[in-house]
């Protein structure tokens, strides 16, 4: 299976007779299974031909299965003879160029003859006459001086500006907004709209995608949850693991039941036990901790009032086979002794135990290593690239619709909202996130 599929969209590149130039746009789809920065470059058999080709925006960021556009400009030197030449486009992963790469099919470049010699005088005369009549008709019938605004949707700012200037217009203000329809850096809207007649020199304002909007899940405190089947066995730890999440509670009152941020449970609700739980205390949900069972259970926990309503807080907990540690916003709160191999379970649950979490949860991360305090603080405010050593589950909740909670770790542990296949009462709500994660 290829890492990248590369489609030139044409069977050859036609070079203009007068300018000796041409272009082609390749569609490159990221099939590698993880988000990557992709670099595209031209490959030729004759090194002397390398200078003919220029890849615009050679490095672009692609989400999983996202298709990018790489434009290649061709400029053939005037001394090159007419004929058929060839090149290929190579796409490589910036983080692993030696192993993750693919090459397109061979793309012919058709260089035409110069077409020397002069046109017969009568052809020139006819062309001049036709142009003169067209100019007169334009003046007589009506010239309102208007310029049609071209459509620049989906282009980069640089490409959009080039198209606007070619039409006799100017680039106006450029602003950004999140978009799940256009990749980061591409135009999502323009004003005036495409097709509008405007005066020459008019500035066209652009709105550019800043990428997929950040999202979180809002849990109702009653029965909302996300489930992740442990089909891979990635969550059956031996003697070490780490669990992290950003949370913003809407209340911390308790009805005498434990609530959970994340837990590895034996079953879906109703429960029959768990292997480990990042929990909220049954008597006071402002007190939280990590419980680990081997099968006897011990826990480390924070003090009362340590979970604040209406504020984003980063919770992290680790087990290294000898001790349980818990951190809030990178600060160590408690250490408790505990030894033994962690019990196995069947499903990872987010947002529920005996009771449901009430508030927002974002950026849930599960590791099969006990991370250090420095490790936790170094990445808690950063979006992870996925495919990191030890990372076996990473849920960002940035999807805009649907029941899927995609695993961005590369391990394939996708989650599901609620208890059923369709939308129902146990689904947490998708909301925008302002958690402090870049």
Same domain, 284 and 423: yes
Q: Which of 156, 189, 213 is the last residue of a domain?
A: 213
Does residue 438 lie in a domain region?
no
Same domain, 85 and 143: no
Query: What radius of gyration do the chain's Cα atoms show?
Result: 30
| CB-CB contact of 22 with 16 (8 Å) | yes
Question: What is the CATH number for 129?
Answer: 3.30.10.20
Same domain, 48 and 33: yes
Question: Which ranges of 12-144 does DSSP label H, i.e. alpha helix?
Answer: 121-141
* Tokens 């209340």, residue located: 251
pLDDT of the residue at 272:
65
Does residue 155 lie in a domain region?
yes
Same domain, 31 and 124: no
Question: What is the CATH number for 51?
Answer: 2.60.40.10
Does residue 235 lie in a domain region?
yes
Does residue 332 lie in a domain region?
yes
Six-digit token pair at 105?
A: 């099919």
DSSP 8-state assignment for residue 133: H
Same domain, 69 and 136: no
Instruction: Say if strands 36-43 and 347-350 run parallel, antiparallel, or are unpaired.
Output: unpaired
Same domain, 349 and 202: no
Please list, residue by residue across 79-116, b when 16 or more beta carbons sit within 10 angstroms of its beta carbon and e when fewer do. eeeeeebbbbbbbbbeeeeeebbbebeebebebeeeee
The whole-angstrom separation of Cα 166 and Cα 145 is: 16
162 contacts: CB under 8 Å, gap ≥ 6: none
Same domain, 258 and 189: no
The whole-angstrom separation of Cα 232 and Cα 236 is: 9
pLDDT of the residue at 139:
45
Same domain, 158 and 234: no
Same domain, 88 and 13: yes
Same domain, 279 and 366: yes
Does residue 219 lie in a domain region?
yes
| CB-CB contact of 208 with 188 (8 Å) | yes
Q: Which of 180, 213, 246 is the last residue of a domain?
A: 213
Q: Which of 159, 178, 213 is the last residue of a domain?
A: 213
pLDDT of the residue at 213:
74
Same domain, 87 and 159: no
Does residue 437 lie in a domain region?
no
Same domain, 198 and 237: no
| CB-CB contact of 295 with 276 (8 Å) | no
pLDDT in tens, the chain (438 residues): 788 999 998 889 999 988 999 999 999 999 988 889 999 999 998 888 999 999 999 999 998 889 999 999 999 999 998 888 999 999 999 888 888 899 998 899 998 887 544 445 555 555 555 555 554 454 444 445 689 999 999 999 999 999 999 999 999 999 998 876 788 899 999 999 999 999 999 999 999 988 777 899 999 988 899 999 887 789 999 899 999 999 999 988 776 778 889 999 888 776 667 888 898 887 777 888 888 887 777 777 776 667 888 999 999 999 999 999 999 999 999 999 988 888 888 899 999 888 889 999 999 999 999 999 999 999 999 999 877 999 999 999 998 889 999 999 999 999 999 988 788 899 999 999 999 998
**Tally: H helices and E strands in the chain:** 3, 31
pLDDT of the residue at 244:
97
| CB-CB contact of 97 with 58 (8 Å) | no
The domain in which residue 404 lies consists of 215-432
- Residue by residue, DSSP assigns 243-256 as EEEEEEES-----S
Q: How many domains does the chain have?
A: 3
pLDDT of the residue at 305:
64
pLDDT of the residue at 99:
84
Question: What is the CATH number for 317?
Answer: 2.60.120.200
The whole-angstrom separation of Cα 109 and Cα 83 is: 8
């Amino acid at each position: 299976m290829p890492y990248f599929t590369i489609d030139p969209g044409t069977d050859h590149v036609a070079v203009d007779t007068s300018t000796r130039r041409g272009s082609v746009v390749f569609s490159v789809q990221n099939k590698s299974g993880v988000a990557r920065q992709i670099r595209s470059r031209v490959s030729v058999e004759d090194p002397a031909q390398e200078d003919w080709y220029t890849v615009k925006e050679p490095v672009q960021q692609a989400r999983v299965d996202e298709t990018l556009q790489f434009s290649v400009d061709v400029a053939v030197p005037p001394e090159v003879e007419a004929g058929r030449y060839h090149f290929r486009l190579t796409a490589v992963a910036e983080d692993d160029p030696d192993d993750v790469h693919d090459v397109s099919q061979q793309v012919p470049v058709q260089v035409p003859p110069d077409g020397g010699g002069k046109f017969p005088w009568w052809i020139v005369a006819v062309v001049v006459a036709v142009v003169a009549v067209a100019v007169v008709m334009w003046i007589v019938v009506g010239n309102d001086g208007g310029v049609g605004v071209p459509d620049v949707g989906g282009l980069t700012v640089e490409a959009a500006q080039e198209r606007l200037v070619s039409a006799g217009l100017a680039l106006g203000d450029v602003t950004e907004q999140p978009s799940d329809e256009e990749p980061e850096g591409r135009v999502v809207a323009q004003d005036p709209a495409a097709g509008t007649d405007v005066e020459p020199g008019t500035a066209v304002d652009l709105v550019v995608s800043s990428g997929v909007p950040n999202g979180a899940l809002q849990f109702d405190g009653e029965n909302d949850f996300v489930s992740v089947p442990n089909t891979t066995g990635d969550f059956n730890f031996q003697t070490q693991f780490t669990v992290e999440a950003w949370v913003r509670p809407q209340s911390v009152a308790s009805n005498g039941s434990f609530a959970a941020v994340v837990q590895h449970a034996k079953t879906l609700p109703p429960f029959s036990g768990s292997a480990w739980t990042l929990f909220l205390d049954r008597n006071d949900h402002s007190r939280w901790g990590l419980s680990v069972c081997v099968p006897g259970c011990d826990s480390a926990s924070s003090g009362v009032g340590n979970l604040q309503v209406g504020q984003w807080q980063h919770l992290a907990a680790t087990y290294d086979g000898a001790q349980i540690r818990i951190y809030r916003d990178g600060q160590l709160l408690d250490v408790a002794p505990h030894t033994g191999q962690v019990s196995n379970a069947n499903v990872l649950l987010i947002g529920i135990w005996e009771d449901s979490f009430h508030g927002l949860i974002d950026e849930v991360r599960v590791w099969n290593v006990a991370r250090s305090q420095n490790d936790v603080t170094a990445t808690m405010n950063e979006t992870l690239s996925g495919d990191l050593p030890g990372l076996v589950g990473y849920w960002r909740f940035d999807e805009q619709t649907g029941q899927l909670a995609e695993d961005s770790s590369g391990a394939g542990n996708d989650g599901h909202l609620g208890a059923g296949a369709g939308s129902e009462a146990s689904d947490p709500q998708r909301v925008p996130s302002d958690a402090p994660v870049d």
